[in-house]
């Protein structure tokens, strides 16, 4: 059975048929530049020692230092981290951020760890990775089950090891520790800007557009809140425990308020601190994917829409806020049915874009106001959405392939600038 990384690489050859890229450059992109597996020792609260497994992958650094999140999750594997690093390379190239792709993770269940144990785990991971990361080498960020506080611990540990303050080594940090305004909601906001561009192209009456959001964490809450604010009808949301559905639509700020206060997703309407339950159907995450909606937003984990359930998907547009939520075989079915998928390497690129802004601010020692961050993000997302959409129409391919073509053209130019067979075999002449 092909792994997640093999599935990711398969999409390269399809896009390479249309991209202006040398075959040597394609071959280089099929192989991560470097992978590191480490033991992460942690002294537990009861005095015992636990050894966790940690990974970090540098996929490609042709266009700049590698960049990508660190996730704490029981199902982290080297195959998964390689695939996520691969996607980061293309995500950075799609938005023209001068980074390559990196990713990291620790096999653990942070829900079973105390706050002190999570801090020790975070610092121990950085101790093992201190020679593999750096402000001009590889810049981590938060991912699944990691957050700004954890990034602050990691930055502090790296700074201690190198005996100087190094805020640019990690992005997604707390604001007082060198974080950027606008980073917290950047992933969901970037996806929202993509939907807004599509709405303009298709002339949508926003109140008629029904949206379902699978995954009600940071990114899912943000895109739901912004779409609701813009007039879209959010008719279903779900978290890891299940979901709720009402075709009339929900008051999203009330859902967010109640979820963040109680840690449970419930169909409510809140007036100040008083929340009252409203009518809604209780559904599973699988049922949410099959709802009759106009826009489906997978914002949870990878491999949610597969060959087994793709025929149940009724949405006309899919906005991938999660990494890799659609498998390659499902992609083909959706495209043949005329479903538009705004791919993860574009739709969720707002996070890495504002991470780039944070890194730039750390390097400058000058910090931008929130309005500047959001304006720059909107400008970049809107520009690259339009560029990918044009490539899609020009080559008559699905939008994911178009995004890969767009990214590969940029990566290919960078690789070829260093010389390929065509250059060296012709005595230095192209």
Which residue out of 103, 111, 266, 314 is catalytically annotated?
103
Distance between CA 21 and CA 252 in Å, rounded?
44
CATH number, position 64: 3.40.50.10860
CB–CB of 314/337 below 8 Å?
Answer: no
Distance between CA 51 and CA 39 in Å, rounded?
6
Is a pLDDT exceeding 50 seen at residue 293? yes
Distance between CA 91 and CA 118 in Å, rounded?
29
Distance between CA 131 and CA 115 in Å, rounded?
26
Residue 350: how many other CB atoms lie within 10 Å = 31
Q: What is the predicted pLDDT for the residue at 270?
A: 85
Is a pLDDT exceeding 70 seen at residue 430? no
- Residue-wise pLDDT for 314-373, tens only, equals 999 999 999 889 988 899 999 999 999 999 999 999 999 999 999 999 999 999 999 999
Q: Which residue has the higher pLDDT, 187 or 17?
A: 187
- Residue-wise pLDDT for 198-233, tens only, equals 999 999 999 999 999 999 988 999 999 999 999 999
pLDDT-wise least confident of 189-203, 262-276, 375-389 = 262-276
Is a pLDDT exceeding 90 seen at residue 374? yes
Q: Are residue 148 and residue 215 in the same domain, yes or no?
A: no
- Residue-wise pLDDT for 141-196, tens only, equals 998 899 999 999 999 999 999 999 999 999 999 999 999 999 989 999 999 999 99
CB–CB of 145/113 below 8 Å?
Answer: no
Per the structure, how many domains does the chain have?
2
Q: Are residue 289 and residue 360 in the same domain, yes or no?
A: yes
CATH number, position 341: 3.40.50.720
- Residue-wise pLDDT for 125-138, tens only, equals 999 999 999 999 99
- State pTM to two decimals: 0.90
Is a pLDDT exceeding 50 seen at residue 31? yes
Distance between CA 48 and CA 107 in Å, rounded?
18
Host domain of residue 52? 35-177
Is a pLDDT exceeding 80 seen at residue 294? yes
Q: Are residue 197 and residue 344 in the same domain, yes or no?
A: yes
In a domain, 14, yes or no: no
pLDDT confidence tier of residue 273, bands split at 50, 70 and 90 = confident
Q: What is the predicted pLDDT for the residue at 99?
A: 97
Q: What is the predicted pLDDT for the residue at 6?
A: 86
Q: Are residue 159 and residue 202 in the same domain, yes or no?
A: no
In a domain, 21, yes or no: no
Distance between CA 28 and CA 324 in Å, rounded?
21
DSSP letter for each residue of 36-95: EEEEEEEE-TTS-EEEEEEEEEEEE-TTSSEEEEEEEETT--HHHHHHHHHHHHHHHHHT
CA distances for 372 relative to 300, 367, 375, angstroms: 29, 10, 5
Is a pLDDT exceeding 50 seen at residue 275? yes
- Residue-wise pLDDT for 36-48, tens only, equals 999 999 999 999 9
Active-site residue 33, yes or no?
no
Q: Are residue 114 and residue 220 in the same domain, yes or no?
A: no
Q: Which residue has the higher pLDDT, 283 or 153?
A: 153
- Phi, psi dihedrals of residue 302, rounded to the nearest 5°: -75, 165
In a domain, 428, yes or no: yes
pLDDT confidence tier of residue 7, bands split at 50, 70 and 90 = confident
pLDDT confidence tier of residue 1, bands split at 50, 70 and 90 = very low
Q: Are residue 202 and residue 173 in the same domain, yes or no?
A: no
In a domain, 9, yes or no: no
Domain boundary among the residues 177, 212, 238 is at 177
Q: What is the predicted pLDDT for the residue at 14?
A: 81
Q: What is the predicted pLDDT for the residue at 25?
A: 86
């Amino acid at each position: 059975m092909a792994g997640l990384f093999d599935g990711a690489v398969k999409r390269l050859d399809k896009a390479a048929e249309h991209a202006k890229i040398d075959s040597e450059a394609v071959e280089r992109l099929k192989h991560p530049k470097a992978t590191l597996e480490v033991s992460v020792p942690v002294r537990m609260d009861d005095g015992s020692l636990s050894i966790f497994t940690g990974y970090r992958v540098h996929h490609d650094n042709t266009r700049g230092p590698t960049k990508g999140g660190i996730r704490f999750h029981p199902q982290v594997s080297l195959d998964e981290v390689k695939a996520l690093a691969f996607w980061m390379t293309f995500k950075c190239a799609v938005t023209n951020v001068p980074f390559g792709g990196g990713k990291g993770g620790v096999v653990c269940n942070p829900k079973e760890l105390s706050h002190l144990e999570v801090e020790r785990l975070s610092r121990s991971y950085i101790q093992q990775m201190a020679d593999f990361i750096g402000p001009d080498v590889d810049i981590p960020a938060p991912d699944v089950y990691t957050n700004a506080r954890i990034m602050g611990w990691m930055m502090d540990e790296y700074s201690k090891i190198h005996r100087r303050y190094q805020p640019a080594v990690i992005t997604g940090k707390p604001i007082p520790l060198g974080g950027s305004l606008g980073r917290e909601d950047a992933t969901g906001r970037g996806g929202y800007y993509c939907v807004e561009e599509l709405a303009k192209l298709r002339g949508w009456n926003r109140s008629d557009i029904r949206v379902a959001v699978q995954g009600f964490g940071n990114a899912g809450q943000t895109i739901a809140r912004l779409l609701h604010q813009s007039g879209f009808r959010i008719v279903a949301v779900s978290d890891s425990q299940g979901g709720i559905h009402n075709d009339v639509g929900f008051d999203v700020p009330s859902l967010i308020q109640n979820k963040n206060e109680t840690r449970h997703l419930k169909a409510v309407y809140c007036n100040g601190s008083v929340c009252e339950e409203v009518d809604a159907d209780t559904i599973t995450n699988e049922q949410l994917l099959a709802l009759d909606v106009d826009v489906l937003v997978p914002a949870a984990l990878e491999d949610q829409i597969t060959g087994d359930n793709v025929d149940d998907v009724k949405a006309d547009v899919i906005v991938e806020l999660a990494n890799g939520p659609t498998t390659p075989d499902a992609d083909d079915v959706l495209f043949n049915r005329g479903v538009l998928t705004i791919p993860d390497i574009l739709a969720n690129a707002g996070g890495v874009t504002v991470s780039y802004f944070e890194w730039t601010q750390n390097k400058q020692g000058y910090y931008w106001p929130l309005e500047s961050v959001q304006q720059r993000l909107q400008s970049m997302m809107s520009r690259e959405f339009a560029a990918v959409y044009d490539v899609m129409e020009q080559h008559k391919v699905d939008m994911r392939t178009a995004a890969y073509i767009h990214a590969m053209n940029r990566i290919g130019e960078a690789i070829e600038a260093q010389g390929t067979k065509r250059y060296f075999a012709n005595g230095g002449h192209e």
